């Protein structure tokens, strides 16, 4: 968390011979951290989307099974009549 804080707010480094410090930012590390975060988010979204796709397919399969059962019952009722 300290690293993230330093990357967001910068560090105050006094230049030689100056009374007032200069705020510096480590942009290279910040970009690497953002890149790693982007990749992690993309992986998690892909996993979540895959789970969602599986849930949709399971729902469709269950609905088709119920439709088949109703069709069989209707056909049996028609044959008995």
pLDDT in tens, 16-26: 877 788 888 88
pTM of the complete model: 0.50
Helix axes 2-9, 27-80, angle to 10 degrees: 110
End-to-end CA distance of the chain: 75
Q: Which domain holds residue 70?
A: 2-80
Give the total number of structural domains in the chain: 1
Residues 26-63 pLDDT 10s: 888 888 988 999 999 999 998 888 888 888 889 999 99
């Amino acid at each position: 968390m300290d690293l993230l804080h330093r990357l967001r707010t910068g560090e105050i480094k006094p230049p030689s011979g100056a009374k007032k410090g200069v705020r510096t930012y480590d942009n290279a590390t910040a970009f690497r951290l953002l890149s790693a975060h982007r990749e992690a988010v993309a992986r998690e979204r892909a996993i979540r989307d895959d789970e969602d796709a599986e849930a949709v397919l399971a729902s469709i399969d269950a609905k088709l099974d119920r439709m088949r059962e109703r069709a069989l019952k209707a056909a049996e009722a028609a044959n008995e009549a």
